[in-house]
């Protein structure tokens, strides 16, 4: 039970923090909240969550098989470290150029909130590399076990964290966006540093330890 709670906690924490940098989806949620009310904005958030959860399931089931193949998992770890490095440098570039992390040009709102959430989330290219990277890190830290029964608290935590992150923008409204806009440069640097450190830890563990495998216990 303790492991399930730990998995839930880490899924929720990573998802919540990942939802805070300003981007198309959380700014859209704010706009919907300000113009149409909090209920449509919450429905929009649910739409984005459906796609994100589906992406996480795809990543997890792929990793469940990959984690049993030791040589393949080594390659998988290298790819993951590379993806995290790319995300880190994209944050640094955004900070230097004073751009919003995840900024896109999609601004059409001629859809129902739920469908719009589905569309914007499906167009987000970061879901799979983001969760591929963090899930691999959690497996290597023996926090997440690549077995199906452990996926449910992980997905539940991710769902809770994502909705919590959206709630900051939905109920905080324009004020939150304005405050974060002033500090977006700092946010990009901080996230970039965190991702860079994570990538270095991942590479260090690749050369110092044997790859994680599917075996694990509930203790």
217 in any annotated domain: no
207-217 pLDDT, tens digit per residue, is 665 544 433 33
9 in any annotated domain: yes
Domain that holds residue 117: 2-208
Cβ within 8 Å of residue 86, ≥6 positions away: 129
The mean of the pLDDT values for the chain is 75
Q: Which pLDDT value is given to residue 208? A: 64
130 in any annotated domain: yes
The lowest-confidence range among 38-42, 53-57, 117-121, 127-131 is: 127-131
Q: Between 155 and 175, name the one with better pLDDT.
A: 155
For the full predicted model, state whether its pTM sits above 0.85: no
Q: How far apart are CA 103 and CA 127, in angstroms?
A: 14
Cβ within 8 Å of residue 42, ≥6 positions away: 166, 167, 170
Q: How far apart are CA 135 and CA 55, in angstroms?
A: 12
219 in any annotated domain: no
214 in any annotated domain: no
How many structural domains comprise the chain? 1
DSSP state of 146: S
216 in any annotated domain: no
199 in any annotated domain: yes
Cβ within 8 Å of residue 53, ≥6 positions away: 155, 158, 159
Which range among 9-23, 95-109, 185-199 has the greatest average pLDDT? Answer: 9-23
Q: Between 144 and 188, name the one with better pLDDT.
A: 144
Q: Which pLDDT value is given to residue 166? A: 92
């Amino acid at each position: 039970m303790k492991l399930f709670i730990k998995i839930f906690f880490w899924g929720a924490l990573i998802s919540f923090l990942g939802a805070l940098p300003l981007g198309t989806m959380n700014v859209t949620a704010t706009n919907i909240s300000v113009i149409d009310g909090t209920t449509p904005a919450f429905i929009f958030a649910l739409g984005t969550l459906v796609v994100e959860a589906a992406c996480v399931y795809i990543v997890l089931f792929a990793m469940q098989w990959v984690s049993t193949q030791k040589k393949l998992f080594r390659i998988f770890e290298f790819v993951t470290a590379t993806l995290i490095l790319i995300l880190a440098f994209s944050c640094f570039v955004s900070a230097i150029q004073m751009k919003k992390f995840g900024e896109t040009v999609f601004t059409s709102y001629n859809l129902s909130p739920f469908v719009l959430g589905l569309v914007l989330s499906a167009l987000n290219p970061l879901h799979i590399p983001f969760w591929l990277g963090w899930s691999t890190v959690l497996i290597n830290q023996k926090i997440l076990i690549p077995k199906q029964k452990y996926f449910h608290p992980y997905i539940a935590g991710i769902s809770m964290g994502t909705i919590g992150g959206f709630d900051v923008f939905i109920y905080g409204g324009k004020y939150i966006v304005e405050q974060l806009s002033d500090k977006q440069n700092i946010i990009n640097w901080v996230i970039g540093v965190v991702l860079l450190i994570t990538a270095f830890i991942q590479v260090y563990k690749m050369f110092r330890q044997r790859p994680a495998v599917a075996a694990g216990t509930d203790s």
